[in-house]
Structure 1
Amino acid sequence: MSEATKTEFTKGSLLATLVALLVLAGWGMAIFTFGYPAIVIPAVALSFGSLFALVIMTRG
C-alpha cells in the first residue's frame, strides 16, 4: 500500500472527531432533558443562519 492511500489520524482530525462526538452527545443529552424543543430550536437557528449567509453572499 502506498503512502498516499494510508489512512492516518493526525492530532487535528482526532480533535475534530472528538469535538463532533462531544457536540452530538451534548445534543442528545439536551433532547433527553428538554424533549422536542431541543430538536426544533437548533433547526430554527440554523435556518436563520443559512438565510443570513445566503443574503450576505448574494449581496457580493
Structure 2
Amino acid sequence: MSSFVLYLIGFAILIGGIAWALVEAGVPHLYIIIASVILTGIGILKAVSHTRTKDISRN
C-alpha cells in the first residue's frame, strides 16, 4: 500500500475521532460536516505534499 493511502487512512481516522467528539459535545451537525470537509481538504493537501516525489530536472 502506498504511503499516500496510509496517510489518508490515518487522517480519516483522525477526522472520525474529532467528529465523534464534536457529536458527544453537542455541536450541531452542520458545523461537524463543515469541519470534516475542511479537514478532508487539508488532509489531501498534506498527503500530496508529503508523499509526492521530487522532480529532478536535467540541465
Structure ranking higher on relative contact order (CA contacts 8 Å, 6+ apart) = 2
Interval of TM-score (by shorter of Structure 1 and Structure 2): 0.3 to 0.5
**TM-score after normalising by structure 1:** 0.47
Larger radius of gyration: 1
